[in-house]
Chain A
């Protein structure tokens, strides 16, 4: 069933259908939050907060809009929750900080995973924050440019431009990346 149909039914009073949306997005949202917080407990707290907030405010979700997208909406909630969390914490952990914090136990199951992530993040550390976000959201979270533009509150063209610029940077340094991968 399409997201919007489920949302409409939920809005009509059948709140139990929210479970379907939960099952569909809970892993992605958790991953999204975890990559931003790199802490299991914090990620769990923010995930539960995100879904509870979505359930409570689902009636405010406008399904009549052409651009309405539940995936983008729930990612936006998660994104805002993370921002709020770091506003309270006074400092946002950059994705590049993964290198410094020394991975948590449950983050990656294998050593190979940890190494790969370390390598790619090491390369990505040379990129700007928004450039990193656009590429990661697009490749790792499978979010469309439209959805990314909604989450980051930027225009679609701007989002595409950022993506293009980032890819140019990566291609220019691609040999260096390959070298890094080869070494590790």
Chain B
């Protein structure tokens, strides 16, 4: 303790007090300064406690960062380098690495489950399998499309055949009418008849039926035949009881042209009208329509890639979930067939 300094201060601050008196006072005070000592163990323990606390509060040194950080940073660097290198390598050799896109999903799964790409043989096998599977799918697709085309062709040819035969029939009917031959069209073979009368037959304008609606409409030749029969009957059986007045002035030709025949008023027997070819035509038409409808239903079903099954004589077009009959198709109530 700096006794002198304290004394100087006291003298400075208390100039009115004599120096000796201040010295004595200071002496008394300093002599009475108690000597207080702390426990040694407490002192040690407190030091240790402070050491421990200082460790937790101590800032981590830079080399510590380096010690832990360096391996981490180097690992990241190596990883990034290899990532870039691998990226470049795959870009340079796409044939080795882009095969995944070529493999169908089922094969990819198989690959994951079974195939181990450890050697090139497996890769070759995998490619072969991929190629074969792709070819198979292509084949199936082409076969399907060909089948569909064939079916539509068949339907069309059948349609054309029906139309042609009908045309021939109508043309022969017309020919017979014009020739005024007393030949029943039901009794003759149309093709043979055409061969026999080929020269005359060629002079007749060909009847063209555009569609099935024309076939289904009542033919005009039936009316012409009726007219002929009526004329003959009129000459033979004049004054019969059941007569009916009919205007024959307008007799349309097969092309739908109006042919005017003036001043002809004849009676017609209603019974004879039944003999006309209209009925037959109508029956054929129904048949044709039925076959066409059937064909249409089946072909549409086939074209859409659905199955056709027969149950109790009814044809059904079967989807994975639904079933549709021909009647439903006609009513257009089939949700998957339109």
Judged by a CB distance under 8 angstroms, whether B30 is at the interface is yes
User: Which residues from A are CB-within-8-Å of B14?
Assistant: 164, 167-168, 171
Q: Which of B56-64, B237-245, B252-260 contacts A (4 or more CB under 8 A)?
A: B56-64
Contact partner of B35 (CB less than 8 A), chosen from A18, A44, A113, A171, is A113
Residue of A whose beta carbon sits closest to that of B12: A160
CB within 8 Å of B: which A1-41 residues: 12-16, 18-19, 22-23, 26-27, 30-31, 34-35, 40
Judged by a CB distance under 8 angstroms, whether A71 is at the interface is no
Q: Smallest CB–CB gap between A33 and chain B, Å?
A: 10
Q: Is the CB of B25 within 8 A of A171?
A: yes
Q: Is the CB of A13 within 8 A of B17?
A: no
A170–B27 CA distance with the chains assembled, in angstroms: 13
Residue of A whose beta carbon sits closest to that of B21: A171
A164–B29 CA distance with the chains assembled, in angstroms: 15
Binary contact track A100-127/B, C-beta < 8 Å → 1, others 0: 0000001111000100110110000000
CB within 8 Å of A: which B262-283 residues: none
CB within 8 Å of A: which B5-55 residues: 6, 9-10, 13-14, 16-17, 21-22, 24-26, 28-39, 42-43, 46-47, 49-51, 53-55
Q: Is the CB of B25 within 8 A of A174?
A: yes
Q: Which of A62-70, A77-85, A86-94, A136-144 contacts B (4 or more CB under 8 A)?
A: A136-144
User: Which residues from B are CB-within-8-Å of A107?
Assistant: 34, 36
Q: Is the CB of B34 within 8 A of A174?
A: no
Q: Smallest CB–CB gap between B29 and chain A, Å?
A: 5
Known contacts A55-B57, A139-B6, A167-B17; A119/B50 CB under 8 A: no
Q: Is the CB of A177 within 8 A of B28?
A: yes
Judged by a CB distance under 8 angstroms, whether B314 is at the interface is no
Residue of B whose beta carbon sits closest to that of A164: B13
Q: Is the CB of A120 within 8 A of B42?
A: no
Q: Smallest CB–CB gap between B133 and chain A, Å?
A: 69
A30–B39 CA distance with the chains assembled, in angstroms: 10
Q: Is the CB of A35 within 8 A of B28?
A: no
Judged by a CB distance under 8 angstroms, whether B1 is at the interface is yes
Q: Is the CB of A139 within 8 A of B54?
A: no
Tally of B interface residues using CB under 8 Å: 40
Q: Smallest CB–CB gap between A103 and chain B, Å?
A: 9
Residue of A whose beta carbon sits closest to that of B2: A142
Known contacts A26-B43, A145-B9; A120/B32 CB under 8 A: yes
User: Which residues from A are CB-within-8-Å of B43?
Assistant: 26
Known contacts A19-B51, A44-B39, A113-B35; A163/B46 CB under 8 A: no
Contact partner of B31 (CB less than 8 A), chosen from A44, A55, A116, A160, is A116
Q: Smallest CB–CB gap between B300 and chain A, Å?
A: 88
Q: Is the CB of A13 within 8 A of B58?
A: yes
Q: Is the CB of B6 within 8 A of A47?
A: no
Residue of A whose beta carbon sits closest to that of B43: A26
A96–B201 CA distance with the chains assembled, in angstroms: 157
A139–B220 CA distance with the chains assembled, in angstroms: 150
User: Which residues from B are CB-within-8-Å of A140?
Assistant: 29, 33-34
CB within 8 Å of A: which B58-76 residues: 58-59, 61
Q: Is the CB of B58 within 8 A of A139?
A: no
A15–B31 CA distance with the chains assembled, in angstroms: 38
Contact partner of A163 (CB less than 8 A), chosen from B13, B35, B47, is B13
Q: Smallest CB–CB gap between A70 and chain B, Å?
A: 15
Contact partner of A56 (CB less than 8 A), chosen from B1, B2, B29, B53, is B53
Q: Is the CB of B29 within 8 A of A135?
A: yes
Q: Smallest CB–CB gap between B24 and chain A, Å?
A: 7
Q: Smallest CB–CB gap between A175 and chain B, Å?
A: 10
User: Which residues from B are CB-within-8-Å of A23?
Assistant: 47
5 contacts between A and B (CB under 8 A): A19-B51, A27-B37, A31-B36, A120-B32, A171-B17
If A15-B58, A113-B35, A164-B14 are given as contacts, then 19 extra A-B residue pairs at C-beta distance below 8 Å, sorted by A number, are A12-B59, A13-B59, A13-B61, A14-B58, A15-B55, A19-B51, A23-B47, A26-B38, A27-B37, A34-B36, A48-B49, A52-B49, A55-B54, A56-B57, A120-B32, A138-B9, A139-B30, A168-B14, A171-B21
B residues adjacent to A (C-beta < 8 A): 1-2, 6, 9-10, 13-14, 16-17, 21-22, 24-26, 28-39, 42-43, 46-47, 49-51, 53-55, 57-59, 61
